[in-house]
């Protein structure tokens, strides 16, 4: 059962990350369009500028679990890189249980009222000509936290399996 949970969480993280990665291309194209319109034709578009911000938020927030899954997140690894597989697994388990999960659970809890209030009024951009989807943008906060909770749980389970496999090898060998 745990293996299925790990596989499902990693598949969701992988698929989401691969899809969201294409938003960086859209950001580049929109940014080029903004520059050409502004400096080539003297036309400015608040909605287009906010679109780049929305895409950036989606890349960062929806891609976080994918980055974590592939162990590409920021880590201060002065010692970690020299650790054995077992020590790395223990660091990952402890970090997940005492830092990642409490932080993500607390942030999910804190963001709930913030996002709910935005949805109640269907919050829009305060800028004239801005996008009317601020409530959707704010919804990315709990979505990011839930995806990190799922991927973090899968990572903890994987690392427990690594520790157990090493123990079995030592016991049998």
Q: How far apart are CA 149 and CA 104, in angstroms?
A: 6
Q: How confident is residue 34, by pLDDT bands cut at 50, 70 and 90?
A: very high
Residue 93 lies in a domain: yes
Position 97 scores a pLDDT of 98
pLDDT band per the 50, 70, 90 thresholds, residue 5: confident
* 125 found inside a domain: yes
Question: For residue 37, is pLDDT > 70?
Answer: yes
Q: In the chain, how many domains are there? A: 1
Structure confidence at residue 173 (pLDDT)? 60
171 confidence band (pLDDT: 50, 70, 90): confident
Task: Supply the range of the domain harboring residue 161.
Answer: 2-73+83-172
* CA-CA-CA-CA torsion sign (73, 76, 77, 79): negative
Q: What is the mean pLDDT of the chain?
A: 94
**Eight-state DSSP code of residue 81:** G
Inform me whether the pLDDT recorded for 69 exceeds 90: yes
pTM, full prediction: 0.89
Helix (H) or strand (E) holding 112: helix 101-120
């Amino acid at each position: 059962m745990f293996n299925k949970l790990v596989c499902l969480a990693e598949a969701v993280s992988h698929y989401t990350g691969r899809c969201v990665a294409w938003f960086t291309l859209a950001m580049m194209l929109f940014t080029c369009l903004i520059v050409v319109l502004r400096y080539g034709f003297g036309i400015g578009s608040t909605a287009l500028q906010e679109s780049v911000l929305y895409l950036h938020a989606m890349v960062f927030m929806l891609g976080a679990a994918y980055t974590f899954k592939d162990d590409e997140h920021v880590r201060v690894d002065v010692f970690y890189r020299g650790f054995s597989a077992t020590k790395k697994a223990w660091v990952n388990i402890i970090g997940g249980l005492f830092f990642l999960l409490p932080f993500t659970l607390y942030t999910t809890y804190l963001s709930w009222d913030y996002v709910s209030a935005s949805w109640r009024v269907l919050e829009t951009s305060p800028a004239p000509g801005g996008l009317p989807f601020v409530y959707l943008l704010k919804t990315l906060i709990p979505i990011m936290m839930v995806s990190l909770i799922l991927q973090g749980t899968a990572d903890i389970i994987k690392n427990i399996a690594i520790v157990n496999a090493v123990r079995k090898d030592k016991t049998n060998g």
